[in-house]
């Protein structure tokens, strides 16, 4: 009986430690339209396209970038993951657009201290995440 009590006491102590161990910085989550749950402090980035439609980007609770877009009637797509492991807000840049308003890039910071980019082509295809080159 003493062994059972000791085991129960040890389990309770370990469970208490697990419950009280909290991350150093709590991350708050926001609920957005379309069922999005994202990291509040990173916000939602909106990019307007030449035909008046918009594309939204956010960092989900899984630390990946998520996107959705609307059509000309205003109907929004579902959220789709673009992957990545992000530690800050999504920034839209047009550095690689070469004058084409349909081309742009997303830039995000990552936990390893680098910035990564994902380039959008004219037809809407994405290059995939890669380290951002040093600006020249």
In this prediction, residue 14 carries a pLDDT of 30
Place 7 in a pLDDT band, splitting at 50, 70 and 90: very low
Closest CA to 40 of 31, 48, 49: 31
pLDDT mean across residues, the chain? 82
Q: Is the pLDDT of residue 15 over 80?
A: no
Residue in this structure with the two tokens 């492991």, named with its chain if needed: 85
For residue 67, give the nearest of 84, 48, 82 by alpha carbon: 82
| Residue 102: both structure tokens together | 């349909």
Question: What does the domain layout of the chain look like in residue ranges?
Answer: 26-131
- 72-104 residue pLDDT tens: 999 999 999 999 999 999 999 987 788 899 999
Lay out the sheet containing 104-109: strands in order across. 91-93, 104-109, 115-120, 130-131
**pLDDT confidence band for 135 (50 / 70 / 90):** low
Share of the chain above pLDDT 70, in %: 78
| C-alpha to C-alpha distance for 104 and 127, rounded to whole angstroms | 11
* pLDDT on residue 12: 34
- When pLDDT is cut at 50, 70 and 90, the band that residue 134 belongs to is low
- 34-68 pLDDT, tens digit per residue, is 999 999 999 999 999 999 999 999 999 999 999 99
């Amino acid at each position: 009986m003493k062994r059972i009590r000791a085991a129960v006491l040890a389990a309770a102590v370990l469970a208490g430690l697990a419950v009280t161990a909290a991350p150093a910085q709590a991350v708050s989550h926001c609920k957005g339209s379309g069922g999005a749950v994202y990291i509040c402090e990173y916000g939602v980035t909106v990019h307007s396209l030449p035909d008046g439609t918009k594309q939204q980007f956010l960092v989900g609770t899984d630390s990946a970038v998520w996107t959705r877009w609307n059509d000309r009637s205003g109907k929004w797509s579902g959220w789709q993951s673009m992957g990545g492991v992000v530690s800050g807000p999504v920034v839209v840049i047009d550095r690689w657009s070469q004058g084409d308003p349909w081309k742009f890039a997303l830039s995000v910071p990552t936990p390893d201290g680098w910035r990564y980019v994902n380039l959008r082509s004219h037809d809407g295809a994405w290059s995939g995440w890669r380290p951002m080159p040093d600006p020249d």
